[in-house]
Structure 1
Amino acid sequence: MAWVVQDAEGLIVGPVAEFLRDFAARGNSAGSVRSYAYVLLRWWRWLAAVGVDWDRATAAEVRDLVLWLQLHPKPRRSARTLSADLVGTVNPKTGKQYLDDHYAARTIRHNNAALASFYEYWAEQGRGPVMNPVLRAGGGRRPNAHHNPMMPFRPEGKLRYNPKVPRRRPRALTDEAWDELFDTLTCHRDRALLALTVSNGARASEVLGIRGADVDWGNQLVRVIRKGSRAQQWLPVSEPAMVWLRLYLAEVGKIGPGDPVWVTVRRRQRQGTLTRVPMTYEALRAVLRRANARLGTNWTMHDLRHTCALRMAADENVSLRDVQTILGHAHMETTAEIYLVEDERHTVEKVAAHLARLQEPKPDPAPVATAYRSADLAVLFGDGLLP
């Protein structure tokens, strides 16, 4: 197993190691195992600080940890430099807020979910606390225990100390912003990678996993491995993205069917020879970091995914089911909740037009007649009886 948790003496924590082994055997990805390992490392340090054994932990320790995560910043290996003045501010070009050093609400919710899973595993083994210290909001009773079969199921089972997550609207690049970002890229690899992402909305990890055999040049398709289900799926690619991909591969040279498509521009020393190494997620972040520094923006790879999704959702010839399939969402509700919304820019434009119409001069009212019309009198009195 690649990930283990060690205590203060450098010894492997047995309960965590056994849980992670079982967690990995259930088909979870290496990234998920790594994420759970860091959560349990934080939990073990917290228990050591408060002087409580892991199998004697109660809901009080979980509650206090949540409060501590909400109040204290994340530890950093080095202090902020250029980004120190931008923490918590909003970028005037993108309208997006710069992240600060505090734990996000989603991170705390993930922390609680991992701890609940850890103690559920040990409850199945007959060890650990009698009651799971990560309580649920329903007071520990079974969700929908007294459900009326004639009524719909209610969403129960929420963890008690989960902070609320504000609903975020998807951020999309305008055509002008996309052109500006694309023009600032300095090599064919970066142009091909971002053009491919904005054309089919694949996640960064999915795009970086593409290999030589995953490119169908004739049909303009690429094959990705979905992040959650690990299923293989072919996605369409725009014609410009295929052109940039061809130009990039002409510079790199021949790539075998099993070789990664995205590699470093500069060769690095490996086993005594200079060779190109596979591009990592951190290297991809560095590409956008340099582009953002030149433009004064804070775009991310996920913004390109949002851009692709909103473009498809706004096209009347593309159904919501099509958007769900391309994005790789397991449930239609996820796609509808996030992307079946009108773009804020269009809403602002409509309201601005409404305000402009209110300022337009009103037309003069029709003149009011001061006498009876002769035709009406003729109908009333007859043609020969008019006064």
Structure 2
Amino acid sequence: MPDERRPRRDLTRFVLPEIGQLVETGDRWEPVQLRDPLGRQVEPATEYFKELMAADCSPLTPRSYGMDLLRWWRYLWAFEIAWDRATREDARDFTLWMKLADKPVRVHWRHRGKNPDETPVPPVSARPAPGTPNPVTGKPTIGTKYAPATRAHFETVLRMFYDFHLELGTGSLLVNPFPLHRARRSAWTNAHHNPERGFWKQHTGLYRPKIPKRIPRRIPDEKYTEVFAGLRSHRDRALLAFWVATGARAEELLTATQGRADVGQQTVGVIRKGTRNYQDLPATPDAFVWLRLYQEEAWRKGVPRGRSQALWWTLRRPWRPLEYDAARMMFTRANGLLGANWTLHDLRHTATSLMLDDPNLAPVYVQKILGHKYLSTLDIYNRPTTDDVIAAGLAHHARQERMRSNPPPAPPAPAYNAESLNILFGGPDQ
């Protein structure tokens, strides 16, 4: 029942304030900290981050979850709501705001403190409308609203966060403001479930949105050649060649060391994202040629050399191992020459499609190279892309047009069999 003492909030004009911050500490025991506007740690979030690290999650998991917690805490700070006094109505209102309102527009650090009228803005003709398909790739551009995947991730993180503190009995928390779907509450759920049918809304949050199924995007060969030609250094060419050859995730390849690049075996060793296991991945000779050109150039400039040193470095002093954000911006600049919006993860999809197109490479080997747990994960590549559907439809129309312009000859007219008539009525030989 809604709390009548709490006034109704009008969120139609609400703007999420940029207060508080998520700080990366560099400490393995506590990789991130959520801090309030006064710079103090938010203890409930700190305890939850420790739980994630103890559960053998990746160090990137607390950062990902922390961004959702920061978004929720900013909402609570704006309305002066204690985290353990948040109600279901609070969760419902903020979830609805994330669905309908525009995302906050962050000002670039180069433009902060300047007059907005003096800030250079690209011409409208050069910028596709938010959310519209890119004319080169067909992928939708980033929209003004929160994506369904972002809202689903937020709901899951907050529901797990409150479940964790409910089990501990932290503060005055009594109920989880992010409940499960109504059909999931009963202990007798699925008691009469038909085993031939799938489970409906299994462990689904009440406010969790529906996420559309994504279709992997493959970079066509001719477009990949144009992107490759737009790169500025041997390092970037080597990176792109290895990503497409190995199918490794961007972060996995960026954290490789020089000793893991085995030219003789034509493999590069990476640490897998989920299992944290070491795995050697096969690569092409061209990738190692570009790698050697990059290393010779980098070592002459003074880049650290050694088997335990990082494989990829920045191009300018001070020398630092190349991080994901810098690699992403490099690929974005190369995309900008074509007006495309491919991502680094699309290179992994491209590598997978190339391997699956080879009839002599069994899918089970592709699964192992990609590091997937189940072979069924490759089923997403059986879904036709938009380009495939359009090409098939146009080919159908072309065949129909050819049939109309060159119709096949008419079949011969039906006639009675002469032998059958002679037997039935008696012929000249009877």
| TM-score, length-scaled by structure 2 | 0.80
Residue 400 of structure 2 is aligned to residue 362 of structure 1: no
Q: CA 1:82/1:198 → structure 2, altered by over 3 Å: closer, same or farther?
A: farther
CA–CA separation in structure 2 for the residues paired with 1:263 and 1:295:
26
| Residue matched to 1:97 | 140
CA–CA separation in structure 2 for the residues paired with 1:306 and 1:42:
31
| Residue matched to 1:114 | 157
Residue 65 of structure 2 is aligned to residue 19 of structure 1: no
CA–CA separation in structure 1 for the residues paired with 2:186 and 2:104:
35
Q: Is the 8 A contact 1:201 1:306 kept in 2?
A: yes
Amino acid of the structure 1 residue aligned with 2:122: L
CA–CA separation in structure 1 for the residues paired with 2:187 and 2:236:
49
Q: Is the 8 A contact 1:224 1:235 kept in 2?
A: yes
Residue 106 of structure 2 is aligned to residue 76 of structure 1: yes
User: What displacement does 1:380 show?
Assistant: 5.8
CA–CA separation in structure 2 for the residues paired with 1:169 and 1:103:
19
User: What displacement does 1:176 show?
Assistant: 0.9
Residue 169 of structure 2 is aligned to residue 169 of structure 1: no
| Residue matched to 1:272 | none
Amino acid of the structure 2 residue aligned with 1:104: A
| Residue matched to 1:350 | 392
Q: Report matched runs for 1:241-252 at 5 Å.
A: 241-252=287-298
Q: CA 1:378/1:61 → structure 2, altered by over 3 Å: closer, same or farther?
A: same
Local SS of the residue matching 1:4:
strand
Indicate which of 82, 88, 93 corresponds to 1:59: 88
User: What displacement does 1:63 show?
Assistant: 1.1
Q: CA 1:380/1:284 → structure 2, altered by over 3 Å: closer, same or farther?
A: same
| Residue matched to 1:271 | none
The alignment's C-alpha RMSD in Å is 2.6
Indicate which of 178, 186, 195 corresponds to 1:151: 195
Q: Is the 8 A contact 2:261 2:267 kept in 1?
A: yes
User: What displacement does 1:83 show?
Assistant: 8.5
User: What displacement does 1:161 show?
Assistant: 0.5
| TM-score, length-scaled by structure 1 | 0.88
Indicate which of 167, 185, 197 corresponds to 1:141: 185
**For 1:3-29, what per-residue CA distance to the aligned partner results, in whole angstroms no more than 9, with x for missing partners?**
222223332222222222222222222
Q: Is the 8 A contact 1:134 1:160 kept in 2?
A: yes
Q: Is the 8 A contact 2:132 2:140 kept in 1?
A: yes
Q: Percent identity?
A: 37
User: What displacement does 1:262 show?
Assistant: 0.8
Q: Which consecutive aligned stretches of 4+ in structure 1 deviate over 6 angstroms post-superposition? A: none
CA–CA separation in structure 2 for the residues paired with 1:150 and 1:63:
33
User: What displacement does 1:196 show?
Assistant: 0.7
Q: CA 1:147/1:315 → structure 2, altered by over 3 Å: closer, same or farther?
A: farther
Q: CA 1:221/1:144 → structure 2, altered by over 3 Å: closer, same or farther?
A: farther
Specify every segment of 5 or more residues in structure 1 that has no aligned partner in the other structure, as ranges. Answer: 269-275
| Residue matched to 1:261 | 311
Q: Is the 8 A contact 1:313 1:340 kept in 2?
A: no
Q: Report matched runs for 1:208-227 at 5 Å.
A: 208-227=254-273
| Residue matched to 2:9 | none
CA–CA separation in structure 2 for the residues paired with 1:27 and 1:187:
37
Local SS of the residue matching 2:33:
coil
